[in-house]
Amino acid sequence: MAKANGVMAGLFYIVFGIIWIAMCGAIPSAIGFLFMVVGALVIAFGALMIVRTIRGGGPQSFRARTSRPEEPSEGEQEPKEYSGYCPYCGSPAEEGYEYCRVCGKRIG
């Protein structure tokens, strides 16, 4: 279902870009050419979206590349000394807190 949505969105961008370029062809000044370039960029974006969706990319793969690595499980965590700050986000943390109030990660 997600692949179909990505392909449909890409097709929408391509059709929109074609209509945009056709409409801008009627503008006689140089600004019409600049608008046509914008239409070509929209078409290129739609084609890129379709290709990334078919190859298995898309928004989910982008999120996977930019997300933080998972924190180690409780058995793998080393005991930490109290430093007054969260070791993950650096926000102030009072002694005795088990979880950071800002990022929510386990600190104690």
**pLDDT tens readout for residues 39-84:** 999 999 999 988 888 887 555 554 455 555 565 555 555 545 667 7
Q: What is the mean pLDDT of residues 19-30?
A: 87
Measured CA distances, 22 to 2, 13, 42, 78 (Å) = 30, 14, 13, 63
**Full 3-state SS string of the chain:** CHHHHHHHHHHHHHHHHHHHHHHHCCCCCHHHHHHHHHHHHHHHHHHHHHHHHHCCCCHHHHHHHHCCCCCCCCCCCCCCCCCCECCCCCCECCCCCCECCCCCCECC
pTM of model > 0.85:
no
Write out pLDDT tens, residues 76-108.
Answer: 555 456 677 888 888 888 777 788 888 888 886
Boundaries of every domain in the chain: 2-66, 80-108
